Amino acid sequence: MGLPKIVVLGAGFGGLMTVRGLQKQLNHQEAEITLVNLNPYHYVTTQLHEPAAGTLDPDHTRVALESLINRDKVRLIQDKVTGFDPKEKVVRLAGTDEPLAYDYLVFALGAHTETFGTKGVFENALLINNLNSVRMIREHIEYNFARYQASDVKNEDLLKIVIGGAGFTSIEFVGELVDRLPYLCKEFDIPREKVQLINIEAAPTVMPGFDKELVDYAVNYLSGKGVNFRIGTPIQEITEDGVILKGGEEVKAATVVWNCGVRGNALLEESGLETMRGRIKVDEFLRAPGYEDLFIIGDNSLVFNNEERPYPPTAQMAMQQGQHLAKNMVAMLRGGEMKPYRYAPKGTVASLGRNVGIGTIGNNNKKVFGRKASLIKKLIDARWFFILGGFSLALKKAKF
């Protein structure tokens, strides 16, 4: 009998933590480990709002997988996963007709965009999904500023940016935009007051469910920088000209960025597994119900707290799961016992541009604001690079 085949799909927070845990703990004779990822690099999803606004070079948020993987122990396949069959135990890839067989599969392909049935999202909005989608946002804004200046007839809609949803992704993106705009306006000789940032949220508050004092801080700070918040106003449709709100009002804008939430990866539903908003309610060992060989982690897993409410999908969760899963898989392969997974939240910190932030930290949810929160956020980012590549990578990539 050959070695057990472990296939890990996705080199994001969850997948990388799993693979790196496995390559560290297993020796060559214990398993065949394969990592499949779309790109030859890992990008840091938690930083994507920065290259989207143009405050960070996209290259800064990525690291070559070659430098993160021990090729003596891990086979790296750069390809697009197009499906998998949990009964046949095979993965399908875009670049080959040959199915990839596994004994154990770790599904860590990250989230997909949630539209809630809103028309025109994929046709007319820009998305903060991956390195290329955020490159498009930066370029789109710059292109429209250039178009505005190049034309004799001034179309003010070219200078309007609508941001759909006021959850964490949007608030962090808006924070970066307010930092970037003064430079952008100077570059294109456009008066700052001509540019409109409109953040539209369906719920009655910005960052629904988050601490009110911190939300008020964020709203006051960003409003003071010229952001127009429209709360309690669901976007019903996105058109080529802008957005249509519930009730019929049209807000024209050349740039619409949709950050209205995420759902599980469509490949899970397509595989016939039972999902909730595309995600799998995993068991205590992070397995899909009914499958002892299929592990689901990161944004695709649904983990509930003591009050039976699902935890939000975060990098923090994905990292903890990946680390835990690697240990469990090692134990399993060596005939030992797996340990149940328990999420240990360490807090939530959001940036509002380069030097300001908000957050709660520790078990007692201590609130942090302003520069202190911003510094903590930067330390969290630096910690990830440290985990990936030690001090040298952290020093190269950290920004303070």
CA distances, 75 to each of 11, 100, 319 (Å): 13, 12, 21
Task: Pick one of 168, 221, 341, 385: the residue that binds ligand NAD (CB under 6 A).
Answer: 168
Assess 122 for contact with ligand NAD (CB under 6 A).
no
In the bound state, the residue with its beta carbon closest to ligand FAD is 12
Assess 313 for contact with ligand NAD (CB under 6 A).
yes
How far apart, in whole angstroms, are the C-alpha atoms of residue 265 and residue 85?
15
Shortest Å, Cβ 348 to ligand NAD: 5
Task: Pick one of 53, 235, 352, 394: the residue that binds ligand NAD (CB under 6 A).
Answer: 235
Cβ 286 vs Cβ 324: under 8 Å: yes
Q: Between 110 and 242, whose beta carbon lies closer to ligand FAD? A: 110
How far apart, in whole angstroms, are the C-alpha atoms of residue 100 and residue 97?
9
How far apart, in whole angstroms, are the C-alpha atoms of residue 17 and residue 319?
6
Binding segment for ligand FAD (CB under 6 A), chosen from 105-113, 147-155, 231-239, 359-367, is 105-113
How far apart, in whole angstroms, are the C-alpha atoms of residue 342 and residue 301?
13
48's contact among ligand NAD, ligand FAD, none, with CB below 5 to 8 A by partner kind, is ligand FAD
Q: Between 185 and 231, whose beta carbon lies closer to ligand NAD? A: 231
Q: Between 30 and 211, whose beta carbon lies closer to ligand FAD? A: 211
| Of residues 388, 340, 341, 327, the one with CA closest to residue 22 | 327
Assess 110 for contact with ligand FAD (CB under 6 A).
yes
How far, in whole angstroms, is CA 79 from its chain's centroid?
Answer: 20
Joined tokens for residue 228: 């127009």
Assess 37 for contact with ligand FAD (CB under 6 A).
yes
Shortest Å, Cβ 360 to ligand NAD: 10
Helix axes 315-333, 13-25, angle to 10 degrees: 30
Site for ligand NAD in 316-355 (CB under 6 A): 348-350
76's contact among ligand FAD, ligand NAD, none, with CB below 5 to 8 A by partner kind, is none
Site for ligand FAD in 305-344 (CB under 6 A): 313-316, 318
| Of residues 145, 164, 131, the one with CA closest to residue 254 | 145
Assess 261 for contact with ligand NAD (CB under 6 A).
yes
Cβ 143 vs Cβ 54: under 8 Å: no
Task: Pick one of 182, 208, 290, 362: the residue that binds ligand NAD (CB under 6 A).
Answer: 208
How far apart, in whole angstroms, are the C-alpha atoms of residue 175 and residue 22?
38
Per the residue annotation, which of 50, 114, 172, 176 is the catalytic one?
Answer: 172
Assess 271 for contact with ligand FAD (CB under 6 A).
no
Task: Pick one of 48, 200, 244, 260: the residue that binds ligand FAD (CB under 6 A).
Answer: 48
Binding segment for ligand FAD (CB under 6 A), chosen from 44-52, 209-217, 226-234, 333-341, is 44-52
Assess 381 for contact with ligand NAD (CB under 6 A).
no
Cβ 235 vs Cβ 118: under 8 Å: yes
Task: Pick one of 86, 165, 264, 322: the residue that binds ligand NAD (CB under 6 A).
Answer: 165
In the bound state, the residue with its beta carbon closest to ligand NAD is 167
Q: Between 74 and 244, whose beta carbon lies closer to ligand NAD? A: 244
Bridge-based pairing of strands 301-302 and 280-281 is parallel
- Name residue, tokens 């890992």: 42
Task: Pick one of 23, 34, 118, 271: the residue that binds ligand NAD (CB under 6 A).
Answer: 118
Assess 264 for contact with ligand FAD (CB under 6 A).
no
Q: Between 6 and 52, whose beta carbon lies closer to ligand NAD? A: 52
Residues 6+ away with beta carbon under 8 Å from 155: 147, 148, 254
Residues 6+ away with beta carbon under 8 Å from 254: 144, 155, 157, 158, 159, 160, 242
* Active-site residue flag, 172: yes
**Site residue total, ligand FAD (CB under 6 A):** 31
For 21, the enclosing helix (H) or strand (E) is helix 13-25
Assess 154 for contact with ligand FAD (CB under 6 A).
no
How far apart, in whole angstroms, are the C-alpha atoms of residue 138 and residue 162?
14
| Of residues 73, 68, 111, the one with CA closest to residue 300 | 111
- Residue ranges that bind ligand NAD, judged by CB under 6 A: 116, 118, 164-170, 172, 200-203, 208, 234-235, 259-262, 312-314, 348-350
Active site residues per annotation? 172
